[in-house]
Chains A and B, each alone.
Chain A
């Protein structure tokens, strides 16, 4: 290759090394510092990747391809393309924000905690960059294992059960996907190596795209893959692990789960499921959209009934993800574009929401809406931030989510106006529960619990200001995100249609 470094290598190895380093130092302060510094370094690398775009002269900077298991045709092949670039950027942005925002939270065994968090980041980066099915599967599972330990060890009182449910769900889904991968693999063409060895099949993404699959094959393979991705996103009716896990996990892990990890499922749809099984997509797309929209409405109603703030946000997240999934399967230029942008925006917004919840929960020990009242008078700054983030969550104009949801809705409307109408119901309800949350928790007379809440501290202020800045910036000027993902949309639609 001739390069001293490549971006995919840096994005995988930096978090991996940071994670291992955290395990070695064992001391809370230095582990925390390592994690924060490395995550900022990774953010820097990730921003740098934006300037080395798909131009062929940067090809070697953006791709890493080693022979891994020669005799079965599996390579360690990772590379950055536009969707991957956006999601690695989201991952790289999310981690420093999360780490800085929660830096006042005291943690037992902090070294292993931060080590596991950095390992999760390495796994996530790998998922978003993998261009070989086996590499993808490895990273897909590797992102899960550290999260399992994080949530069980540092979570709430029921965390062991909740997290285990999460683990078994995703593990079972992944295994189904593994069978699908194997079946597609066995229908791929031959692959030759430079030294003359020829293997019968190959795991590379390109050979998966060209696999020789009949219509009926594609249909049931679609189901196998879709279950794995649907559990991860999660799409109704595979969502039952999610509210408990979000509720019981430590908040920074919940942020990782809801901000970045759910994007793995959506990304899986875009990178693997839809291009590999275009005929399967054509066969199932209406069913998937109906499931997603059912999920949107259902989750919105459940969120409206919730008294637990964390569960409320969890259900609201199910609704948002459902809408993105529906928009992706509507498969027109506008809707897919909207979903891609929204993947980024949703990650930023929901992390903001969780930070606010974390501040409230850490100071009061309460996560029930009914027990909180009048925080606005004791914590005015926090209230302002929450209101802005909440407005972004319900996609008001001038906030980042508006662009994404607007595009998704108009695309969905073009596809089928009834679908758009029903999904629109979800947005209306989301306004109801979000405003209800603001009103109950922040306004009204201050009660005993809320009385001694201190306002946001400096580190939280910095993070929230950055988040609010991103919300407004993308809300006013979304063009950079659209430019970044435009060709991904085109490539996808060319393959699928």
Chain B
């Protein structure tokens, strides 16, 4: 509860901060302070189990430890994102306060989708999460690509929202309890009324759209490519993870007993997502586009949680959120500083900036899933969940083979940084970077390794 209220309030504060202060960097510090307050408030709620302000929400939201932990992880990743890329947010345009305000509204949406207990709240959460993103995508007003991306994203997003609303209507009408509460929709093992099946299909499609799972991924590369890089970083990590969290929460509580019926659909979506994400990423020349496709590929792995839908999957999605967000935020952070977004643009980075190259390498290894990095642990838990599930064992083998393919495009960047020379001898590969940026990047790499060695630093909280 704390998180929802405070993020909404702080979003408004941020809106006015742009007007109130002439100095451009004040909103950034305000945002960092605000986020710290939110995290502390949420953590106290996690620890004590009671919010600061009691509001009777008629059980429409549920604040369990698991959900609050997810909010904490998502917010901590956002904090790191602010600290790492805050100065780049200032450079996007003149309306700095608004950008931070929109991000806080997204965070409010994240907290709602993490805790919803009715279909209504689910829908509101998803919308609060999405609408600020449309604006953020188009925030580079003079850039045609940014405008195109925003329009495309908005049109497609609006369409998928319509489908979702339709699905919710079907689910509401189709369940014999006529209930909006997600726990009261299913009526017994293996039983699936037709109307619910239709509703399930619609929500599945629209949520697949939100998390960019194939074949509903077509907006992703264009939008991620067109949006300002700092916002792509945020959209493709924390927001996407929140989408997955909502996806799993809804499907576990509402359709858990019908898992056998829709599991095959998830198998198809997972395979096509892995295939399209990984294979297309191989052919990309621009690192930004490559990361967009890689985010589709990683979504394929996260879908394994939905496929398995057991306790290990819940741990897995938690780890995946942290691992994938941290590594991607680090990489996008480096990317914003690059002169040239193509893979050749990274040539010889290790010589000019060894620390940055090292941290980026850790992030890339983590995305590949090499042991000692967080990415390995998250993939490991996902695979464990999928194997434990016991059905469709071949899917797991297909998934790891795609993970091996993913090594190809992640390692191309490593190869460029370490083994190749820049095209011109004294070419500027990277813009000047502040000490704070370097320091935060090392912190990100350090966290990736710490989670990789000891993942119970995150999932251990679920048992206590």
Contact = CB atoms under 8 A, between A and B. Distances in A.
A451 B408 CA distance: 45
B407 A168 contact: yes
Interface stretch (B257-265, B288-296, B365-373): B365-373
Contact of A71 (B396, B404, B407, B459): B459
B383 A179 contact: yes
A142 interface: yes
B415 interface: yes
Contacts of B437: none
B372 A176 contact: no
A305 interface: no
Nearest to A169: B404
B293 to A, nearest CB: 18
B455 interface: yes
Interface stretch (A29-37, A43-51, A145-153): A145-153
Interface string A287-325: 000000000000000000000000000000000000000
Given A69-B455, A70-B456, A168-B407, A141 B387 contact: no
A432 interface: no
Interface string A168-195: 1001100110110011011000000000
A152 B411 CA distance: 11
Interface in B441-464: 454-456, 459-460, 463
B372 A138 contact: yes
B404 A168 contact: yes
Nearest to A76: B453
B397 interface: yes
Contacts of A179: 383, 387, 396-397, 400
A415 interface: no
Nearest to B420: A160
A152 B419 contact: yes
B403 interface: yes
Interface string A130-150: 000000011001100100010
B384 A182 contact: yes
Interface string B308-338: 0000000000000000000000000000000
Contacts of B216: none
Nearest to B412: A164
Contacts of A70: 456
B318 to A, nearest CB: 13
Contacts of A172: 400-401, 404
A172 to B, nearest CB: 4
A449 B397 CA distance: 52
A472 interface: no
A147 to B, nearest CB: 13
A137 B371 contact: yes
Contacts of A178: 380, 383, 400
Interface residues of A, number: 27
Nearest to B361: A149
A443 interface: no
Contacts of A68: 454
Contacts of B370: 141, 145, 171
Contacts of A182: 380, 383-384, 387
B189 interface: no
Interface string A387-411: 0000000000000000000000000
B375 to A, nearest CB: 12
A72 B384 CA distance: 10
A52 interface: no
B371 to A, nearest CB: 4
B84 to A, nearest CB: 24
B418 A149 contact: yes
A53 to B, nearest CB: 31
B282 to A, nearest CB: 12
B404 A152 contact: no
Interface in A406-455: none
30 contacts: A68-B454, A69-B456, A71-B459, A138-B371, A138-B372, A141-B370, A141-B372, A145-B370, A152-B415, A160-B415, A164-B415, A167-B407, A167-B411, A168-B404, A168-B407, A171-B370, A171-B404, A172-B400, A175-B400, A175-B404, A176-B397, A178-B380, A178-B400, A179-B383, A179-B396, A179-B400, A182-B380, A182-B383, A182-B387, A186-B384
Given A175-B404, A176-B400, A186-B387, 10 more contacts: A69-B456, A71-B456, A138-B372, A141-B370, A167-B411, A171-B407, A175-B400, A178-B400, A179-B400, A183-B387
Q: Which 6 A-B pairs have the closest CB atoms?
A: A172-B404, A175-B400, A141-B371, A182-B387, A138-B371, A182-B384
Interface of B: 365, 368-372, 380, 383-384, 387-388, 396-397, 400-401, 403-404, 407-408, 411, 415, 418-419, 454-456, 459-460, 463
